[in-house]
Amino acid sequence: MRSIAVENEERLYLRYAYNDLVKNKGINAALVVTLVLSAFLMATGSMVLERLAGSISRLSEQGKPPDFLQMHKGEYDPAALTRFAADHESEIDAWLVEEMLGYDSASLSWSRPDTGENGDLAASRIDNLFVTQNTEFDFLVDRTGTVVEPAAGEVYVPVLYQQRYGLTPGDVLTIRTGSGPYELEVRGEVKDAQMAASLSPSSRFLIHPEDFEALGRAGGATPEIIVEYRLAADGDANALQTAYEGAGGLPTNGQPVTGPQLRIISMISDGLVAFALVFVSLVLIVIALLNLRFVIRGTLEDEVHEIGAMKAIGIPDREISRLYLTKYSILALVGCVVGGLLAIVAANVLTHGIQTSYAPAPVDVWTFLVPLIALAAVYVIVVGICRGVLRGVRRIEVVNALVHGSTLDEKQAARRTRRQARWVRRTGLVSSSGAGINRRLAVLDLRAEGRAWVLLPVVFGLTAVLITLPANMVSTFESPRFVTYMGVPERDLRADVQFQEDVDGVKDRLVTAMEDDDRLTDVRSYASVDYTADSEDGPARLRVEVGNRPDDGGIRFSQGGLPRDGQIALSVLNADRFRVGVGDDLTIHDGDQSITVQVSGIYQDITSGGQTAKMSGDVTEGAAAYTVFADLAGDGADPGGIADEYDEQFPTGGVKPTQEYVRETLGVLIDSMRAAAWVALVFGLGVVVLITSLFLKLRLARDRSNMGVLSAIGFSAKELVGQVRTKTLLVVAAGTAAGLVLAATAGQSLASAALTAVQLGITDLTFIPNPWLVYVLYPLLLLGAGYFGVAVLTAGVRRADKSEWIRR
């Protein structure tokens, strides 16, 4: 008998839920759409992140990348590397030195004999490194994960180039060498566990050893090496890096990278859109919850008589709440199921490129658990907030519900009566006339019913944060002033003289030519000198940029300022690495000599792994590298054209406009941010239109009796519609303004915290917004979305029978 009673009770709940869903189709449809979007974005973001992690892990299994590597250009001592490996035999499982030949992208071209098509790779700004297959680890693999062995005369190109230029087997890759063109037949593409990330500055081409030797003899290439180490099971990559840099005599003329850094770079460069989807989803969930609170409270007010009757006949509060909760549980379940199904399709589309660049992610238990956990979290949060709001059923008193139609108890009702009395005293309309009366009525109604209208400004405020935060990130990273976050001043031209035998001679000739050029002014050169300093793990390499700087420096310091004699300025990551702050002493070593310098300032820098330093002084020779800066003497000069002239005269000088240097370094990251900004904008505008329509539909239904009274005393339908539109635009404008302020303050702190967490080298980001976009276009779009919603919902007011409103 008990099971029959329970079954009948469940049928009752489901029948009520069904009837209510049919009765309020528009309201419930809007709620479902919001929940579907929230669940869809959360599930899609989580699935993309899981697939990305799986793809990176699978490619790591196939390619076996190093746990620590050191790139190097120039001469080196192989015996020193052998001694280092022997000294750390217990930590190192295997090691190798990979030789490479680097070519500028302009030196590479391709042709398709079958069709006569051809092109070049000049638009690419990454380093092109030609290598042979390794024998122990760090393999280049094909689409199936097989270690590739090209034959003589064949080349396997990076997946990046295969996708960008459509290179196919049978195409011919031509390399411009010092002895003339050298042709190789494209045999296929390879995946690179070490350099697969979009942010990687280099890419490797795989060729046969015979071709490698031939290219080396032909000239025109820049020889490089990578010293690579695979660690034992309990090895620590950071500790090995510290030991390597402190050993002395080892090749260090290049960028060091650890395995964890490679994974972080991959997750940032290819997972940024997924992170954006999760962020948008979290904001939408907040909006959905606010929406649900509004709808549930409105439902309780509309059905207060029925609730009072149920309580009067003895139905417990818990059962009444459960009656309503059933409907919202069904809506949440439908939203999660539909959102999850849509997420499967979207995730497959978004991860296609990822799995092409890395490897097909394995399907395991986490493939199913991760999206299910995300959807379950959305469902639990939604149902939980519904339970919390429905606890208000307990506070409804039977008499007030049946007699006064109120959900308030006596104390709450008394407070509302006093508040309304004060409102009436302040509602003098004698001095108002015409349109002024309508505006004043709209403002007074907002003041009296502020709590009922609070949903719209909150939603528009959150949406303003949602769409402006990614846009501010993009404009900041694209701004010419962003170079100050890269540890360099804001100058017109930059030259990097490094990784060559005659570094000092090339620098001297370049500086002389620039100083004699009337088009350039304020030419300054800085030398990169390698020191060592004591860290917690032992002596570590510290590359210091030495030179004389003007007083302003043009570098953004988070603490302190420019170094003077006997001082040093450190990047954020180096200050953390050596555990020092402004005013502390740091002992640095140059061979057998040691000097103690005081830390003058800490600045943010994302170049060279974020580990840089600056000192004052003159270094005229013997430096590992030089950086030269110059400004244009006239406003009409073209920095790109001047840079091209110097690039032809000094092909190894690396002369380019500073902004081009920024684009080369951060171009892929900026593109990912821009994609995330578009995602946020599209979903944000769609949601505010949806929520505005839902809110006004419920608000108009609740205010029909008041509007009927106003109509009866002479207000036209046009005036009634104008009052509604005025109230809507006022709250939309207030919410948008508050959201812009929040995005510029708390949003800036949030972005700084995220960048700090990924150890990019930035800990205190100051937005450089595009004012026309963020403070003009986006607010207008939000106001337009709000006006569109209110225009659609009020379109039928003029045709409605106002007398029916009074009788309701």
Rounded to an integer, the average pLDDT of 453-465 is 86
Determine what percent of the chain is predicted with pLDDT higher than 70.
Answer: 80
Q: What is the pLDDT of residue 210?
A: 92
Identify the burial level of 46 via C-beta atoms within 10 angstroms of its C-beta, where 0-12 means exposed, 13-18 middle and 19 or more buried.
buried
Q: Of residues 806 and 715, which shows the higher confidence score?
A: 715
Q: What is the pLDDT of residue 341?
A: 92
Question: Which residues, including other chains, have CB under 8 Å from residue 659's CB and lie 6 or more apart?
Answer: 480, 483, 639
Task: Mark residue 19 as left, alpha or beta (left: phi above 0; alpha: psi -120 to 50; beta: remaining).
Answer: alpha
**Domain spans, the chain:** 10-65+257-395, 92-231, 435-485+662-808, 501-651
- Is the pLDDT confidence value at 434 over 70? no
With vertex at residue 533, the alpha carbon angle to CA 527 and CA 536, rounded to the nearest 5 degrees, is 145
Q: What is the pLDDT of residue 408?
A: 53
- Encode pLDDT of 203-228 as tens digits: 889 999 999 999 888 888 888 889 99
The pair phi, psi for residue 101, each rounded to 5°, is -120, 115
Quickly state the pLDDT bin for 433 (edges 50, 70, 90).
very low
Rounded to an integer, the average pLDDT of 701-720 is 68
Q: Of residues 734 and 679, which shows the higher confidence score?
A: 734
Q: What is the pLDDT of residue 737?
A: 92
Quickly state the pLDDT bin for 808 (edges 50, 70, 90).
very low
DSSP assigned state of 147:
B
Rounded to an integer, the average pLDDT of 151-156 is 91
Q: Of residues 273 and 53, which shows the higher confidence score?
A: 53
Q: What is the pLDDT of residue 212?
A: 92
Q: Of residues 554 and 351, which shows the higher confidence score?
A: 351
The pair phi, psi for residue 566, each rounded to 5°, is 80, 15
Nearest to 305, CA basis, from 238, 210, 402: 402
Rounded to an integer, the average pLDDT of 351-375 is 81
- Is the pLDDT confidence value at 155 over 50? yes
Rounded to an integer, the average pLDDT of 688-698 is 80
Strands 567-571, 593-603: pairing is parallel
Rg (CA), the chain: 33
**Which of 32-46, 105-119, 692-706 has the lowest average pLDDT?**
692-706
Nearest to 63, CA basis, from 105, 103, 98, 101: 98
Rounded to an integer, the average pLDDT of 419-447 is 58
* pLDDT, the chain, mean: 79
Cβ(190)–Cβ(142) below 8 Å:
yes
- Encode pLDDT of 291-306 as tens digits: 777 777 777 766 667 7
Rounded to an integer, the average pLDDT of 620-625 is 75
Q: What is the pLDDT of residue 1?
A: 45
With vertex at residue 35, the alpha carbon angle to CA 41 and CA 721, rounded to the nearest 5 degrees, is 120
Buried b (16+ CB within 10 A) or exposed e, 340-357: bebbeebbeebbeebbbb
* Sign of the CA dihedral with 87 first, then 90, 91, and 93 last: positive
Quickly state the pLDDT bin for 745 (edges 50, 70, 90).
confident
- Encode pLDDT of 53-62 as tens digits: 888 888 888 8
Q: Of residues 613 and 4, which shows the higher confidence score?
A: 613
Rounded to an integer, the average pLDDT of 8-17 is 59
Q: What is the pLDDT of residue 473?
A: 85
Q: Of residues 319 and 429, which shows the higher confidence score?
A: 319
At residue 625, the 3 state secondary structure works out as strand
- Is the pLDDT confidence value at 579 over 60? yes
- Is the pLDDT confidence value at 792 over 70? yes
Cβ(304)–Cβ(401) below 8 Å:
yes
Q: What is the pLDDT of residue 417?
A: 55
Q: What is the pLDDT of residue 399?
A: 57
